[in-house]
Amino acid sequence: MASENIVEVTDSNFQTEILGSKLPVLVDFWAVWCSPCRAIAPHVEALAKEYDGKVRVGKCDIDSNPEVATQYDIRSIPTLLVFKEGKVAGQVVGAVPRAKIEDLIKKAL
């Protein structure tokens, strides 16, 4: 799941890794059983590499980390949230095209 460009987001590290980040952070809320989540995963991975150093990218498995998902009212997955300075700065829901995910990132820069 997590790679060199993607941090694994958990209930316990959310505060420091996401809300405390100096860079904007794209968080992909997903689950292993979710096929639309698997469909967008390559786009998220590619954007993590492309925007390395400008934006952090994390993935949060909602089954393993229900507190964060509940806190941000995640009702459908995949949900992508962009955090900037500790606050939600944008959101997309569903298996959207790569360009829509990239637009979300660009708006946070």
**Is 34 among the catalytic positions?**
yes
Query: How far apart (Å, rounded) are the C-alpha atoms in residues 8 and 17?
Result: 9
Active-site entry in 37, 48, 68, 104: 37
Pair of tokens at residue 33 = 């059983």
CA distance 63 to 30: 8
Catalytic site residue from 34, 74, 77, 104: 34
First to last CA, the chain: 25
Residue type (1 letter), 9: V
104: burial class by Cβ within 10 Å (0-12, 13-18, 19+)?
Answer: buried
Question: Is 37 known to be catalytic?
Answer: yes
Residue-level length of the chain = 109
Q: What residues are labeled active site?
A: 34, 37
